[in-house]
Amino acid sequence: GRMGTNQHLLRSLVPIIEQGGIRVSETEVIMPDPVLTGRNPVKLETLSKRSGIEKWTTDVDALLSDEAYSVYFDAQTTDRRVAAVTRAIEAGKHVYCEKPLTHSIYEARMLTEEALVSGVVTQMGIQGHSNEGTRFLCEWIWAGVIGHVREVHVWTNRPLWPQGIER
């Protein structure tokens, strides 16, 4: 989809790969090795050529069973997300997932429980809050730099488009 293609693949992963990965210490560099997945092989091949990411597949089950990959990223439509993320968690994959996570509180609780039982790490992508500045602020809070925090309020100019489910 548009979110996964533009924001995550072309504006994040491809530049990280082009710069040689992310240096996390003097001796360690994290280099993403993505596999594009989807339902349409023609679109996947086109995206592969556009992005320079050579690996792609329409067989998500085979990819989930591949131990070489420990993370599953989901940016597909919300109506497909719960089933796909559940399969990834059951396969022992850590999950980074776009919002909205689910259509209901029940589905969100079900995914949370499955992740806890499976012992995987999950994160929902909320771009305004998944950045270095937010990480620094969390580290300051955890280290007690700014004292005891009882409440946090966050404002954003997003979303810029209509939200919600028609009932």
DSSP per position, 52-102: ----EES-HHHHHT-TT--EEEE-S-HHHHHHHHHHHHHTT-EEEEESP--
Tokens of 7: 């924001």
Question: How confident is the model at residue 6, as a pLDDT?
Answer: 76
Rounded-to-integer distance, Cα 5 and Cα 1, Å: 6
Question: How confident is the model at residue 55, as a pLDDT?
Answer: 95
Question: How confident is the model at residue 2, as a pLDDT?
Answer: 56
Question: How confident is the model at residue 7, as a pLDDT?
Answer: 76
Give every residue of the chain whose pLDDT is below 50, as ranges: none
Question: How confident is the model at residue 61, as a pLDDT?
Answer: 94
